[in-house]
Each structure stands twice: as C-alpha cells, then as structure tokens.
Amino acid sequence: MLYIDGEWRGSHSGSSFEVTNPATGDPIGDVAAGDRQDASAAILAASVAFNGWSRITAFERSEYLHRAYHLMIERKEVLARLMTEEQGKPLKAARNEVQYAADFFLWYAEEAKRIYGEILPAPRSDQRFMVLRQPVGVVAAITPWNYPVSMITRKVAPALAAGCTIVVKPAEQTPLCAMEVFNVIHDAGIPAGVANLVPTADPGPIGDEFVTNPQVAKLTFTGSTEVGTMLAARAAGAMKRLSLELGGHAPFIVFDDADPSYAAKGASLVKFLNTGQACISPNRMYVHKSIAEPFTEVLEERVGRMRAGNGLEEGISIGPLVDAASLEKVDRQVKDAIAKGAVVRTGGERLLADGLDRGFFYAPTVLSRVNRDMEIYSNETFGPVAPVIEFDNEAEVLALANDTRYGLAAYVYTQNLGRAMRMFEGLDYGIVGINDINPTAAAAPFGGVKHSGLGREGGREGIAEFLETKLGGFSI
C-alpha cells in the first residue's frame, strides 16, 4: 500500500506487485505499485504539510519522534520477523537492525531541540547579524533493500526533526518493511502529509518525478554508485540539494603487530554480516605476509562453521543473497578468481542441499592468494566472500587500500599507536575502524568520500543535511 497524506491507499493505476522470501522463493505479500502520478500526489501532500510541520516548535516535533521511537521498540519482534522473511537476514541481525533504526528516532528527537542559530559580530555599529537555520523543504528519499528499516529512519528522523516533510520510495524487494515503518509513523500521530511512502516495482519514473518536480528541495539516496550518480546529475540540473550514500570497497588491513586470530575473528564477524550485502562490508583483506597463514587458518575455521539457511531458524548466521543476479555476480567473481590462481579455503559454491536451492544461498567463502588481476579485487562483491591478499609494508598497503574510486569504510588492525594514527589520517575513507569492526551508531556521522557519496547521515551532521543557513542583516 501507499501511504499518502496520512492515509493508506492503493495505487491510482490499481496495479500491484508480489514480494517474495529470498530464502524460500515463497510469495509473502502483494503490494500496490505506485507510479509517477502517485509520487506527484505524495510530493503535493508533503508540500502542503510543510507549512504546518515546519512552524510547530522543535519540542513538538521531538515529541512525535519520541513516540515513534517507543512504538518501534515495542514492535521490534514483529518488525524483525518480517525483515527476516522479506530480506533474509538472520533474526538476531534483524533485531539489531530494528534497534539501530529506532535509535535514529531517539537521537533526532533530541537533536531537533538543538538546532541553534547565531548572532555574529557585524562590521558596522548600527548593524546586527543573525543566522537562522531553516528546513530545506520537501525531501525525496530513495532507500535500498539491504537495511530495509534503518535506511528509512536514518533519513526520515533527521528530516522530520529539521522541520522538513518527506516522500520515501523504498526498494522494490522490501516494501513490506517500509510499510511497517510507516505504520509506526502513523501510530505515533505524525500529522498527515509529513511523511509519505510510495512503493513501486518500477523505480525509474518515480526517480524522474523526484529529480524534476519543482516542489522537491532535496534528494537523499542510498544505493548503487551507478544509480546515485545518474540521479545526482539530473537533480543538479534542477538545483536540488543532495545526499548520497553509495557503494564501497572496504579494505581490511591486518599488520604484523596485530594478533592474527583476534583480527580473523573480527573479519569473520564483520565480513559475513548481512551475507556481505553491506556497503561497509570488507571487500579486500590485506594481511601482512608474515601472518597471512595463521590469519587465514583461523578465518577459514570460523567461516567453515557458519550455517546458512532460513534466518527464522535457530543457529543460522548466513542468510540468502537477495536475488538471482546477486548470486550470479558472487559466483562469477569467485570463478574468475579461481581461474586466475586464487585458492578456495572454504566455500566457493552455491548451496543447494537441504532445500537451500529454493533460495539464493552461496556458501560463506574464504579465498587466499588473491591478486590485482582478479575481478573481486577491484569490484564490490556484495556477497559472502573474503578475499585475502598479502602485503609487505605500511606505505604499500596504504597506497593499495586507497587505489579505488570508493571511499566509504576501512578497517585496520594494529597495536602500534603511531601506525593507527597514520592509517586513520591517511586512508581516504569516511569511516575508519581501528581494531573495531562496528564503527556505526545513530550518534556517529556515516558517509563516504570519492565515489562513495556526498554528505553524512547520523550524528550532528545528519540533521545539518536538511537545513539551510539564512543570514539576516539588520540596520538599527
């Protein structure tokens, strides 16, 4: 269903699309398919609502967001189960995501009250300068399927806190999760038109409406670098503000002064989260050649023990890939690496036994002897494959790590404080984890440099993305 102007409704065309469970291939729902006209109606509703929403006090907006936070926490289990069915991640990971998603409501309920202006010294004695920070206006948001709840709240919560209104187009694979988020928004009493949802099976025309409709002030997008770049170019033509969270190709660097088994444990935990389908997932494991073997042995052993399956079952740590195309891409990258000399330490094939052939399962995989000629070395995998590459010294690995158009997340294991600081400063990435595999939180700015995006989500920075700065000069 579409959620426009405070009401659930069908699409104006009357058409709908099926949503399936990627673990079983079973249909789990039928959702109204919005089109360009629906997007336009939602933008109009958001535009009308902006007048009221941007004028109520920050305390009132904060109150609504607090309510949304509490409702989402109350509904954690329902949301998590739905997410596992629709997106495939294991239930425990789904619960963590709902918590992370709710945290954005809480954080921005608080930040709403901290949008301060400034009084500046003026050059003339009869002049006063005042700086106001005001909401940009109607926001159009496009969100991905890999984190289908938190990627919505990470945009909606700061936009609403800032006084903006919003229209969200969720990914076609995960509209049901998006609808549950909007049930929370509705039940929190957020006024009609302030937040609107337009699911669709055909994102192109809705994207067209978002980048051309003059009532849209800003586009915020999370997804692939290709689609993001294309939309950004078009939005720039209409002078829309932009925030982009795009692809990554994260290096995971283990120096010889680090404990190889501790680093391998970290690698096994972060690489296989969400079956590797995360833009901050490590894609290149650079390990110093003197510890490459002990590191790889521990990684292989840990990864070999992971169980793939339906995330609703106990003990499952690897869910399916989202669709057939993702499965093919992972398989192609692994085959290409093997053909060019990589060694499969564990995994390396599609999983078909015990009913897994109904879903899109790929065995958690560790490859050693990976080199620069392989496709996996330079392209984002978005799957459960850890490629291990050996290196010799710090300057070399820093150059290798930076030799990519991406710049989202990087990870470093070292016990040497100076080296940790040099890497933190030298890595061209928006997020650097030093002996830390989880450098994300609602309070922390998330985002990339280079082709990984523009702007930040979360933290103090996340709300600034939805504000304009206005200078007032007063002659007295």
Q: Which residues are catalytically annotated?
A: 245, 279
DSSP state of 282: E
Of 36 and 288, which has the nearer Cβ to ligand ADP?
Answer: 36
Query: Which secondary structure element, helix H or strand E, spans residue 178, and what is its range?
Result: helix 175-187
Contact stretch for ligand ADP (CB under 6 A) within 202-210, 287-295, 340-348, 419-427: 202-210
- Of the chain, the end-to-end C-alpha distance in Å amounts to 55
Contact stretch for ligand ADP (CB under 6 A) within 68-76, 223-231, 363-371, 397-405: 223-231
Of 79 and 206, which has the nearer Cβ to ligand ADP?
Answer: 206
Query: According to the binding rule CB under 6 A, does residue 143 interact with ligand ADP?
Result: yes
Q: How many CA atoms lie less than 13 Å away from 23 in the CB half-sphere? A: 23
Sole binder of ligand ADP in the list 25, 204, 214, 472 (CB under 6 A): 204
Task: Give me the least distance between CB of 440 and ligand ADP, in Å please.
Answer: 18
Of 268 and 404, which has the nearer Cβ to ligand ADP?
Answer: 404
Contact stretch for ligand ADP (CB under 6 A) within 10-18, 41-49, 122-130, 224-232: 224-232
CA atoms 273, 277, 280, 281: torsion sign: positive
Contact code string over 160-189 relative to ligand ADP, x by CB under 6 A: -----------xx-----------------
Q: Where are the alpha helices (DSSP H) in 275-348?
A: 292-304, 324-339
Query: According to the binding rule CB under 6 A, does residue 88 interact with ligand ADP?
Result: no
Structure tokens at 248: 């990554």
- CA-nearest of 331, 314, 328, 321 to 278 is 321
Kindly identify the residues of this chain, within the stretch 230-259, that bind ligand ADP according to CB under 6 A.
231
CA 33 to CA 14: how far, in whole Å? 8
Of 170 and 462, which has the nearer Cβ to ligand ADP?
Answer: 170
CA 412 to CA 183: how far, in whole Å? 40
Contact stretch for ligand ADP (CB under 6 A) within 10-18, 119-127, 203-211, 294-302: 203-211
Place of tokens 């052993």: 301
Query: Which secondary structure element, helix H or strand E, spans residue 199, and what is its range?
Result: none
- CA-nearest of 146, 383, 396 to 255 is 396
Residues of this chain that interact with ligand ADP (CB under 6 A) are 142-144, 171-172, 203-204, 207, 223-224, 227, 231
